């Protein structure tokens, strides 16, 4: 089983190395050239639980032994998700909502970031690397906390997370400042997310820094969504939700379904494409964007152009203008043409724009549809669905739900992926149902609960009463010094 870089056919490595390296040295992403050559045996998966399905999916992507895979999956999810189905499917108006937010931080990133540390730990033993791994992550809110929870107390790993001091919500900041675990460190930066992100990126190419870490037997790795080890776990819930529709007689095995996905970095929806490639009967993958609708424009016209204003929306986890994982789709729809992908990415880097051929656009449109919703649409959808169905959508899921309603395909069953608990974005959800207010988020959480009776997730409840364990704030040019200094504590 061999992975290669999307941009260079000669950079080939095994699955363990792909997980440990995260990104290829010339900037490409790791992909399986043979994706889809081996298919899932869907018929035999009907009636199996999340763990069993996950094991079968993982076998197609990593060369670990059956026991290793089983251990990875169980360590990742057992006792860590509040619903025993891990990703339950809920019926709503003849469509379905796939709830991905039952993990330790109430965002869908938990699904990938719970399994990635287990895959990392196992990969280290496979390649016989004696060094430990240090995960460095810059976060605008959700990824950092989910990564911290995933890597917390996982052997042979340490994690440090940096966030913009004034750039995250109160709930997000409190979630990170109260982080537990012997191998975790969290630090705020005076600056914005880009400052934190570029600080980290510089360290990843700082040879002197990496040499110094090696003298302490430490190698760097990253937890962001270009790591194939974060993408593979997300393929599982597409399969699980499909099987659930079969066992509950909503569809017959082989019927095709649509998935509507609130999209930012294109990771989640790409996992749906992977699921289709390994044999899941998918009609359309519907890419839902907010007002940062660079992907919407691309999927309609074949022109990807990030030269536009970056807009702050009520669905901040989708505020993104460079959707990194799109590169993997371009690789596959171009027939694994590394040189072509490299030329598109070069255009993007130099001009902020690229354009695919008509033929490739057609191929993409055979599988992908798209729509977008602005903030007003999003908030009105939350209000409408709550008042009509007593179901509370978060802002990201509401973007997708609006796109579903705008493009309703009655010929197929439709599944909307729900990526966050409404309490993770309390203020926007509360003000969708009520007048604007300047009360703090924890007060609003309780008010929203009183009003809707929707349970507050345990990990968010009483968050304001937890002990603050991480108070450090530094300047952005102090990151390297900080890391070397604090490494000894972990």
Ligand X SMILES: *Cc1c(COP(=O)(O)O)cnc(C)c1O
Pick the binder of ligand X from 117, 233, 267, 422 (CB under 6 A): 267
What the block records as the tokens of 65 is: 């032994």
Alpha-carbon distance of 339 to 242, in angstroms, equals: 36
Pick the binder of ligand X from 265, 293, 313, 414 (CB under 6 A): 265
Nearest C-alpha neighbor of 476 from the set 159, 195, 167, 176: 195
Q: Does 268 bind ligand X (CB under 6 A)?
A: yes
Nearer to ligand X, 263 or 338 (CB): 263
Binding region for ligand X (CB under 6 A) out of 47-55, 79-87, 105-113, 246-254:
105-113
Pick the binder of ligand X from 77, 163, 266, 332 (CB under 6 A): 266
Nearest C-alpha neighbor of 253 from the set 50, 410, 97, 41: 41
In sequence order, the β-bridge partners of residue 162 are 138, 187
Pick the binder of ligand X from 420, 460, 463, 483 (CB under 6 A): 420
* Secondary structure, 3-state, 271-315: HHHHHHHCCCCEEEEEEEECCCCHHHHHHHHCEEECCCCCCCCCC
Q: Does 262 bind ligand X (CB under 6 A)?
A: yes
Nearer to ligand X, 6 or 225 (CB): 225
Binding region for ligand X (CB under 6 A) out of 12-20, 187-195, 262-270, 359-367:
262-270
Nearer to ligand X, 121 or 396 (CB): 396
Footprint (CB under 6 A) of ligand X, residues 188-227: 225
Q: Does 421 bind ligand X (CB under 6 A)?
A: no
In sequence order, the β-bridge partners of residue 373 are none
Alpha-carbon distance of 76 to 404, in angstroms, equals: 32
Neighbour tally for 299: CB within 10 Å: 22
Q: CA of 51: how far to CAs of 15, 115, 226, in Å?
A: 21, 12, 24
Neighbour tally for 275: CB within 10 Å: 25
Footprint (CB under 6 A) of ligand X, residues 114-133: none
Is 210 in contact with 480 (CB distance < 8 Å)? no
Pick the binder of ligand X from 56, 68, 110, 142 (CB under 6 A): 142
DSSP per residue, 67-87? HHHHHHHHHHHTTTSSSTTSS
Task: Provide the 8-state DSSP code for 476.
Answer: G
Q: Does 107 bind ligand X (CB under 6 A)?
A: yes
Return the axis-axis angle of helices 479-486 and 193-204, rounded to nearest 10°: 70
Alpha-carbon distance of 182 to 129, in angstroms, equals: 22
Shortest reach from residue 318's CB to ligand X, in Å: 5
Nearer to ligand X, 76 or 314 (CB): 314
Q: Does 292 bind ligand X (CB under 6 A)?
A: no
In sequence order, the β-bridge partners of residue 185 are 160
Shortest reach from residue 420's CB to ligand X, in Å: 4
Pick the binder of ligand X from 5, 15, 89, 109 (CB under 6 A): 109
Dihedral Cα 61, 134, 24, 139, nearest 10 deg: 90
Q: Does 233 bind ligand X (CB under 6 A)?
A: no
Pick the binder of ligand X from 103, 264, 272, 302 (CB under 6 A): 264
Please give the backbone phi and psi of residue 225, each rounded to the nearest 5 degrees, phi first: -75, 0
Shortest reach from residue 358's CB to ligand X, in Å: 26
Pairing state between β 368-372 and 303-305: unpaired
Q: Does 157 bind ligand X (CB under 6 A)?
A: no
Footprint (CB under 6 A) of ligand X, residues 391-410: 396
Contacts of 74 (CB under 8 A, 6+ apart): 51
Pick the binder of ligand X from 419, 421, 426, 428 (CB under 6 A): 419
Binding region for ligand X (CB under 6 A) out of 102-110, 277-285, 362-370, 464-472:
102-110
Nearer to ligand X, 69 or 98 (CB): 98
Shortest reach from residue 293's CB to ligand X, in Å: 13
Nearer to ligand X, 45 or 417 (CB): 417
Shortest reach from residue 280's CB to ligand X, in Å: 18
Shortest reach from residue 381's CB to ligand X, in Å: 15
User: Applying CB under 6 A, which residues contact ligand X?
Assistant: 107-109, 142, 225, 262-268, 317-318, 396, 419-420
């Amino acid at each position: 089983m061999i992975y290669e870089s999307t941009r260079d056919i000669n950079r080939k490595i095994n699955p363990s190395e792909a997980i440990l390296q995260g990104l290829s040295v010339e900037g490409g992403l790791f992909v399986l050239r043979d994706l889809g050559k081996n298919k899932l045996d869907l018929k035999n998966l009907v009636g199996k639980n999340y763990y069993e399905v996950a094991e079968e999916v993982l076998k197609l992507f990593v060369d670990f032994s059956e026991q290793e895979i089983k251990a990875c999956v169980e360590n990742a999810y057992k006792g860590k998700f509040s619903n025993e189905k891990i990703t339950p499917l809920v019926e709503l108006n003849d469509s379905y909502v796939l709830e991905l937010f039952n993990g330790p931080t109430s965002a869908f990133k938990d699904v990938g970031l719970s399994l990635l540390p287990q895959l990392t730990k196992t990969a280290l033993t496979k390649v016989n690397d004696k060094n430990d791994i240090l995960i460095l992550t810059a976060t605008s809110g959700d990824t950092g906390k989910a990564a911290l929870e995933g890597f917390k107390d996982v052997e042979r790993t340490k994690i440090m997370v940096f966030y913009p001091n004034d750039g995250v919500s109160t709930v997000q900041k409190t979630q990170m400042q109260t982080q537990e675990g012997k191998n975790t460190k969290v630090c705020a930066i005076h600056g914005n997310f880009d400052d934190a992100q570029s600080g980290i990126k510089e360290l990843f190419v700082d040879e002197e820094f990496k040499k110094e870490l090696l003298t302490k037997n430490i190698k760097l790795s990253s937890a962001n969504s270009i790591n194939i080890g974060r993408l593979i776990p997300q393929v599982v819930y597409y399969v699980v939700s499909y099987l659930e529709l079969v066992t509950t007689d909503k569809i017959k095995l082989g019927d095709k379904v649509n998935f509507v996905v609130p999209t930012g970095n294109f990771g989640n929806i790409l996992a749906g494409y992977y699921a289709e490639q390994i044999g899941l009967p998918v009609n359309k993958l519907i890419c839902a964007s907010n007002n940062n609708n660079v992907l919407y424009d691309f999927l309609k016209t074949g022109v990807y152009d990030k030269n536009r204003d970056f807009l702050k929306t009520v669905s901040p986890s989708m505020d993104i203008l460079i959707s990194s994982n799109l590169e993997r789709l371009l690789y596959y729809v171009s027939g694994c043409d590394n040189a072509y992908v490299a030329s598109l990415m070069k255009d993007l880097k130099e001009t902020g724009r690229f354009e695919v051929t008509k033929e490739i656009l057609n191929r993409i449109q055979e599988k992908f549809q798209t729509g977008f919703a602005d903030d007003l649409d999003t908030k009105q959808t939350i209000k409408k669905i709550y008042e009509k169905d007593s179901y509370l959508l978060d802002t990201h899921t509401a973007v997708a739900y609006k796109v579903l309603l705008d493009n309703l395909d009655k010929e197929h069953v439709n599944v909307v992926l729900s990526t966050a608990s409404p309490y993770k974005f309390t203020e926007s959800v509360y003000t969708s149902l009520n007048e604007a207010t300047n009360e703090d988020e924890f007060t609003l959480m309780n008010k929203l609960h009183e009003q809707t009776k929707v349970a507050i997730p345990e990990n968010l409840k009483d968050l304001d009463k937890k002990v603050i364990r991480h108070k450090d704030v530094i300047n952005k040019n102090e990151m390297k010094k900080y890391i070397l200094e604090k490494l000894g504590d972990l």
